[in-house]
């Protein structure tokens, strides 16, 4: 069974780098405590956290496509947040996500995959000049949605409901 890793437990003094507002959160963010909101459009997030940050929406702002699962991954997302001149990353997702909202995001994941597929040629073209690996990360996000994200979201649902990680034998909530 996957245990829940709470990235907020290791952010500590870096919380000041997360001034993003929930209402500005981009709909592409996967449910979890960290998210991209009204970030800049300079595309620096992937330079720090390539396994967690992508760009999207109407203004190509940064969003979190995979929540961190280790101290090192959290540190990379902190670096991404600290490099954002708009301070648009948020770390208060646990206060806003409800089991119902997580399930709704999961039910609407087709909208996310359609968006990703519809932009694939743009990312391929951009990568030819930038080398940021966006197209590969988009395919990684698509594979994550098709594969392990459901289990991660069930563990997150457990965390939201119980405020501790599930133990061996604890039944996980359904999506």
pTM: 0.94
Range of the domain at 45: 8-162
Instruction: Flag whether 91 is in a domain.
Output: yes
50 phi, psi to nearest 5 deg? -65, -25
Question: Is residue 145 in a domain?
Answer: yes
Instruction: Tell me if 174 is assigned to some domain.
Output: no
In a domain, residue 118? The reply is yes
In a domain, 170, yes or no: no
**pLDDT at site 44:** 86
Q: How many domains does the chain have?
A: 1
What does each C-alpha distance from 57 to 2, 14, 25, 84, 98 come to in angstroms? 31, 26, 10, 17, 23
State the pLDDT at residue 25. Answer: 96
| Within-domain flag for 125 | yes
Q: Which residues does the chain have with pLDDT short of 70?
A: 1
Q: What pLDDT does 26 receive?
A: 95
Decide if 173 is inside a domain.
Answer: no
Query: Looking at the domain assignment, is residue 107 inside a domain?
Result: yes
């Amino acid at each position: 069974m996957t245990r829940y890793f709470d990235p907020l437990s290791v952010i500590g003094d870096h919380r000041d780098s997360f001034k993003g507002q929930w209402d500005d959160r981009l709909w592409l963010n996967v449910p979890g405590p960290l998210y991209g909101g009204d970030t800049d459009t300079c595309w620096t997030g992937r330079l720090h956290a390539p396994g967690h940050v992508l760009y999207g929406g109407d203004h190509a702002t940064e969003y979190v496509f995979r929540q961190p699962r280790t101290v090192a991954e959290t540190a990379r997302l902190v670096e991404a947040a600290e490099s954002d001149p708009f301070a648009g990353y948020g770390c208060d997702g646990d206060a806003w996500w409800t089991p119902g909202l997580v399930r709704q995001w999961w039910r609407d994941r087709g909208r996310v995959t359609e968006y990703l597929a519809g932009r694939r040629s743009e990312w391929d073209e951009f990568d030819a000049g930038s080398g940021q690996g966006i197209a590969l990360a988009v395919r990684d996000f698509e594979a994550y949605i098709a594969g392990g994200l459901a289990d991660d979201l069930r563990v997150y649902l457990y965390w939201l409901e119980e405020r501790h990680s599930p133990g061996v034998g604890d039944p996980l909530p359904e999506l």
